[in-house]
Chain A
Amino acid sequence: MNIERIAAVAMQNDQQRTVSISHNLANATTPGFKSTVPFHIAFDVRMGTSGNAAMPQFDIVEASISQPSINMSAGAMQVTNSTSDIAIEGDSWFELNGPHGSLFTRVGRLHVDQNGNLLGPGNLPVLGEAGSIQLVGDKFSVDRSGNVVQNGSVVGRLRRVRFDNSAQLLAQGDGTYAQGSAKVTDGLKSDPIRSGVLEASNVDSAAEMVRLTDTVRHFESLQKIVQGYDDAQEAMIKKLGEF
């Protein structure tokens, strides 16, 4: 059994957890941010072949680095009173035209560029049900059904996509997510849109701080294991060396 190897991997896991917690807390005020939750894969237990059949020996194998999974719960609605800020009341996503295919986002921060394209986060064009949306000037509004209205006429309707397993989406930064292995269940969902609000970050600061404290203490206990083993080795060498 390799105590030090186990402790080292566990300590690396803890360090990775703090990176995840730090990223969550840094983005506690980022609209539309989805926090990452690290979950550990249990240390694998392999049945060893040493010993006899009546008393099999269990050997502990490597533990893997914990995998972050995304917490897709909706954030609170943050009122901004800006008609170009919208949020979806539901679990579907806005679709953006990214450089390598579609990207998805929950951040409904829209603006119009100098060519009249309706852009979302990352300055990527927002897709309507019929393609990208062209506007004239930067005054527009979005109604409850997702229609983009300018000067009283409907210019397009925002596309909202719903996923079966949205936790499989891959974060790309700028509030955008690539599809990854998530499956689309409804490409034309009609969740209502609320204008003048943005979805806030879903980071729970209190939970993150508890996790942080927990992680530091766990790290400390692993440190004690390594030190204890180190002391035992030292004592053993000294005692055996006294012969």
Chain B
Amino acid sequence: MNDALYIAATGMHMQQKNVETVANNLANVNTPGFKKAQVSFVDMVYRGLAASGPGGNAGTASLMQGSGVAIASLAKNFSQGDVKQTGSPMDLAIQGDGFLELTNPEDGSLVYTRGGTMVVDKDGMLATQGGYILKPAIHVGTDGAAIAITSDGHVTVTPKDGSGTYDAGRIALVSFPDATELVGLGNNLYRPSEQSGDAITLSAGEDGAGTLVQGALEGSNVSLVEEMVSLTTAQRAYESSVKVIQAVDEMLAMSNNLRK
């Protein structure tokens, strides 16, 4: 049958994926630490057509016809979101590059995040709300002590019993050779993949790593304007592929009706 149908089908399918990505981005426009996903399209494999012509035009370039559109990648965009002050001392955000390294207490695996609201777990360690413990582990005690975190990651704890401020350790940041290839696990957590490379430990504030901001949360990096424009173009592109299918359908009906 006519290849135009299959090509238009790839067009519709891809625009649908586009709309799904936009919908997920828009749903998470207010999620702290959310990183938007972006679809990138490429045109698909070109095939040579049988070249025929009077006297044989073998000298001309072979006639190449494309076969539609495909998704090259569905990558996360790790540009910085706005850092918004919340005033809560347990909120931690990263201004600049880098991720916090966390340990899963159940199986010891390492996951990464851009920050969020911290809690003190039952052993007195700094952890995320999901129970993932900060690595290197910072012990702050379970007595409701005041915790101060400087921009380069040093954590000082002032216990309630007045025994004086002590240094609890330093929060490290990690970076990746290709952060766009990190695999999202949900809950603003990421794990490395083969393409992203392994984590490289950095000190906050040095070597281009970001700084830590206590009392603030990083907002999502979704731009409403961009997403709405993407949505409109995706819808119209989808519609144009539908029109092509309708037109080709008419042509096939006509060719079928050549013989009454």
Contact = CB atoms under 8 A, between A and B. Distances in A.
**Dominant secondary structure of chain B at its interface with chain A:** mixed
A122 B53 CA distance: 34
Given A29-B234, A209-B243, A19 B52 contact: no
A90 interface: no
B7 interface: yes
Contact of A22 (B18, B60, B248, B254): B248
Contacts of A73: none
Contact of B178 (A18, A22, A29, A111): A111
Given A64-B54, A173-B66, A19 B7 contact: yes
Contact of A14 (B41, B208, B240, B251): B251
B2 A18 contact: yes
Contacts of B175: 137
A116 interface: yes
A216 B178 contact: no
A122 B233 contact: no
B61 A29 contact: no
Interface stretch (A49-57, A155-163, A219-227): A219-227
A129 interface: no
Contact of A82 (B5, B77, B196): B77
B56 to A, nearest CB: 10
B251 A26 contact: no
A62 B53 CA distance: 8
A28 B251 CA distance: 23
Interface residues on A, range: 35 or more
A15 interface: yes
Interface string A23-38: 1011111110100100
Interface residues of B, number: 72
A61 to B, nearest CB: 6
A113 interface: yes
A212 B63 contact: no
Nearest to A180: B61
Contacts of A115: 177
Q: Which of B43, B57, B195, B255 has the most CB of A within 10 A?
A: B43
B236 A173 contact: no
Contacts of B97: 139
Contacts of A121: 42, 72
Contacts of A233: none
A65 B63 contact: yes
A173 B42 contact: yes
A14 B250 CA distance: 13
A172 interface: yes
Contacts, number: 185
B10 interface: yes
A68 B63 contact: yes
Contacts of A151: 208
A168 interface: yes
A30 B64 CA distance: 18
B53 A64 contact: yes
Nearest to B257: A223
Contacts of B54: 44, 46, 61-62, 64
Q: Which of A31, A67, A213, A226 has the most CB of B within 10 A?
A: A67
Interface in B208-260: 208, 223, 226, 233-234, 236-237, 240-241, 243-244, 247-248, 250-251, 254-255, 257-258, 260
A25 B11 contact: yes
Contact of A223 (B60, B178, B254): B254
B130 interface: no
B128 interface: no
Interface of A: 11, 14-16, 18-23, 25-31, 33, 36, 41, 44, 46, 61-62, 64-65, 67-68, 81-82, 107, 109, 111-116, 121-122, 137-139, 151, 168, 170-175, 180-181, 205, 208-209, 212-213, 215-216, 219-220, 223, 226-227, 230
